[in-house]
Amino acid sequence: MRPILMRMVSKLTTDTGAEQRIRQLLEGAGVRCTRQRLLLASIVLHRKQHLSAEQVLAFANRARQVVSKATVYNTLGLFARMGLVREVIVDPQRTFYDSNVTEHHHIYNEDDGTLTDVGQDEFRIEGLPTLPPGTEVHGVDVIVRVRTRPA
Amino acid sequence: MRPILMRMVSKLTTDTGAEQRIRQLLEGAGVRCTRQRLLLASIVLHRKQHLSAEQVLAFANRARQVVSKATVYNTLGLFARMGLVREVIVDPQRTFYDSNVTEHHHIYNEDDGTLTDVGQDEFRIEGLPTLPPGTEVHGVDVIVRVRTRPA
DNA sequence: ATTGGTGCAAAGGATTTGCAGTCTA
DNA sequence: TAGACTGCAAATCCTTTGCACCAAT
């Protein structure tokens, strides 16, 4: 999580009003507030979870709010670039958006498509490999792929 | 790598003739030999490398061989299920096929789309997380995401 | 000849782009 | 009002499916 957001979140926990909190989160991340963005942020950032774009759209529709598919994609992509959510790439068919932006890893159930968090303390990576010349680490993803055990 | 293939590969190193070697690899994996499969196998298994489906198709075309895009996808998927190659999922836009099926991890350059292998000895994972009930580990992917360092 | 498998054209589906509309300063 | 930004329809592009064909028994 970017330090500025980290501070933001803790500061905001004392505020009242969910929408006001969301507004400040977006503004703090340099994202202009619009009706659609507020809606999508309230869906995604509401709690720690992993949602696909499709799922986010479904939630929006369920709330009888009008948002186009493209806006969902564009907005989630924006949130990701701004550090409000983290993209999790485990399946070529769909990108997941993780509202937990602290460092952690994932367990992916290939049978039912479920993502589960793994705390950093549950396991660690020892050492970093030699990087290609002229590059710097942007992130490390660890994905434990599991399958439902046969009966 | 599945043991049966491991044995196969070492046995085959004494054979002469690239095509014959490929034929035996495919048959050993339970894959029937066809013109297209032999071509695609010769492209992909020729040496340790990471290729996207698009790249494999480009190589096939360069060799003036006729293969459809769908056949490339279907065949690479088949090879993956049979353990001849390993799918590497690092970018929602394209799946990479890795001819190195021994346990190892990857460095992915998000700027130029380059994949690099990391030997298991270069770094290790300590401990395994608690798995969701009723599941078993199918594999562990580690991806070090790097970017070209700004000038 | 039958049957299971194979290969490709067309379909499917997630994601991105181009432009008209909207909001801010 | 100027200026930039936003949001959506349509386009794009990777991947899968459905069906005609082929190979082995």
> How far apart are alpha carbons A134 and A88 in whole angstroms?
25
**Helical residues (DSSP H) of chain A, grouped into ranges:** 3-12, 18-28, 35-44, 53-62, 69-81
Å between CA of A135 and C1' of C23: 40
Amino acid identity for residue B27 in this structure? E
Count the Cβ atoms, other than its own, within 10 Å of residue A103. Answer: 11
Chain B interface includes A48 (CB < 8 A): no
**Which strand (E) or helix (H) includes residue A90?**
strand A86-91
- The string of pLDDT tens digits covering residues A11-52 is 444 344 677 788 888 888 888 899 889 999 999 998 899 999
Partners of residue A140 in chain B, C-beta under 8 Å: 142-145
CB spacing of B124 vs A126 below 8 angstroms: yes
CB spacing of A148 vs B128 below 8 angstroms: no
Task: Say yes or no to pLDDT of B7 above 70.
Answer: no
Task: Say yes or no to pLDDT of B66 above 90.
Answer: no
* Strand D-contacting residues in A 41-70, CB cut-off 7 angstroms: 66-70
The nucleotides of chain D lying under 7 Å from a protein CB are 5-10, 14-18, 24
Residue entry with tokens 């929006």: A60
Task: Say yes or no to pLDDT of A8 above 60.
Answer: no
User: What is the model's pLDDT at position A24?
Assistant: 86
